[in-house]
Structure 1
């Protein structure tokens, strides 16, 4: 059976087409487009007209690809930007009428569960872990072990939100940094409480920004690893810390020039680094891994079971 999964993120729209056979699957096609649906006014809960149009045009293109691959089933999920936007329902309606794509808008809780399913499929969960997925609109945290999901929550502290609210300097000033960290600290108090009880041993970053961290390290150290085909990647903690400190201290232009950087993440990666370093520091974690499998693989995993 041929399945297409569309993940409409706040920054990026993803399309994945897979041939499935029972619990086996082969990925036939994969692409992502930096739609930037949260551009400009995400904190006012509005999808601005230019972003709205980019989103619908991207879905039209996705639909053409889906048709050409003769797909049997299409599952499109929308997350934080569409979920929280006043005109999110208009976007869902336009997607169906103009692009022929039926979208399901999922809750933060459902999003966290699907991220967990995706990461589980990658084989990254070997011990008690905290999974973290940094989106443009929200950040999901999932506490789990090899057997089960223990706790999950979605927070509205995505990189696009925090960037528009707090990131006003280049390179980022101590003042901006402190505002971001204070905000995160206030938002995540229940996360730190639950982790105090369960003591995760490792942080697993789900795709997105963590792929960029890995790519920057791979390029700098000329490692023979292709993130596009890898399911997981284990970070050397010192390499990770060096890389993130460089990112935080660099100007926009300096980050642009770093081998392995993608334009979409040039500024948001600073927010991602600050959040990740803060969480790892608070939880005294020094083990970090990347799972390239994320929400869309979770959707695929669910469709294969049913």
Structure 2
């Protein structure tokens, strides 16, 4: 696939070489506008070392109701704009000079995405809607930052709110990419109507996922040596398995999540009401109603690929966007900053 050029989506970018002294003191930001969560990271580069100044995650659920009517709801748009307003305050506080802001499945699929884009522009945000290929490239870039020694080829799976991205890669080269319209939010809305869910609802959920993934193994040009889970669903599952009271990306990075652990979580959660799930360590309250669909997708991925577990990485799309911005700004720099120590 064509290499993704981050220069086309960076705000305030007059394409000129950065002088050594300017690059050594610069504050930049990346924003990932997902179907479930909006994420922000602000990094200051001082003496060629990136330092995280702010890292925020907000469960906006922009894609709520999208599967039913193909449009972003008025309430979802309001939640999104309110969050962007708060993000703008953070960017102004730290005097961010360059930012990269990207939307994913919800904005790709919504007939009225332009309405949200216009409101975001009024708040000072120029949003680039990533294609499936661009999203895959950025996710792999983020993964490689966190797990540089992972054996290739590796299968990267990002279960989002409105879609799941499945990417086979060697280093930063994409061998295969598929964007599937199965996500934790849209599958929950479509199949899970009772609390706790009925066995029949879970059976239909599993059958639908198997249909969507039925030809995956046959389509892969090479057999993966590893399955890597990135994104909020994967990191949440790792946090739950670890019983985290407070999220710690250092413990998440590289965590081996076995299929038996996934089965245990599935069996534990399927008979539990949403309000009870909200008290579970590692599970964000606003993910409690959609976590089952996320687990179901990962379980089926492991079943199809015949892997006994997956490796979880905290590096995904957000870190990939941030890395691309740092790379763009350091193209003329003799020693680009090392981003491997960044935890968002």
Common fold: TM-score over 0.5:
yes
- Alignment of 1:227 with 2:227, yes or no, is no
Q: Give the structure with higher Rg (CA).
A: 2
- 1:27 is displaced (CA, Å) by 1.6
Where do 1:55-204 residues align within 5 Å?
55-97=80-122, 99-123=123-147, 125-146=150-171, 148-195=173-220, 197-204=221-228
Cα offsets for 1:275-299 (capped at 9, x unmatched): 1111111211013111011101111
Task: State the match for 1:267 in structure 2.
Answer: 289
Rounded to whole Å, the distance in 1 between the matches of 2:327 and 2:48 is 7
Q: 2:303: which partner in 1?
A: 281
Contact 2:66 2:106 in 1 (8 A): no
**What secondary structure, in the 3-state scheme, does the structure 2 residue paired with 1:152 have?**
strand
Instruction: Give SS of 2:32's match.
Output: strand
Richer in helix (by share): 1
Return the alpha-carbon distance in structure 1 between the equivalents of residues 307 and 59 of structure 2.
Answer: 31
Q: CA RMSD in A?
A: 2.2
* d(CA) in 2 for partners of 1:226, 1:187: 32
Q: 1:20 to 1:193 in 2, by over 3 A?
A: farther
In the TM superposition, residue 48 of structure 1 has moved relative to its aligned partner by 1.1
Structure 2 partner of 1:35:
60
Conserved in 1, the CA contact under 8 Å of 2:58 and 2:83? yes
Asked if the contact 1:244–1:273 (Cα under 8 Å) also holds between the matched residues in 2, the reply is yes
Matched, 1:11 2:36: yes
Question: Partners of 2:153 and 2:130 in 1: how far apart?
Answer: 26
Q: 1:253 aligns with which of 243, 252, 275?
A: 275
Q: Which moved more, 1:60-69 or 1:255-264?
A: 255-264
Change in Cα spacing, 1:23 to 1:109, as seen in structure 2 (3 Å) is: farther
* Number of aligned positions between the proteins: 301
| Aligned: 1:241 with 2:257 | no
Unaligned ranges ≥5, structure 2: 1-25, 329-344
**2 CA distance for matches of 1:179 and 1:88?**
30
Q: In structure 1, what is the Cα distance between the partners aligned to 2:172 and 2:58?
A: 34
Q: Is the 8 A contact 1:42 1:85 kept in 2?
A: no
Q: Secondary structure at the match of 2:243?
A: helix
CA 1:254–1:138: 2 relative to 1, 3 Å: same
CA contact (8 A) 1:60 1:100 kept: no
Equivalent residue for 1:209, pick from 233, 238, 263: 233
Q: Distance in 2 between matches of 1:140 and 1:20?
A: 31
1:175-205 deviation digits (Å, cap 9, x = unpaired): 212222222222223422134x522232211
- Whole-angstrom CA distance in 1 between matches of 2:81 and 2:194: 32
Q: Which moved more, 1:46-55 or 1:232-241?
A: 232-241
Cα drift, residue 259 of structure 1: 2.0
8 Å CA contact 1:119–1:298 kept in 2: the answer is yes
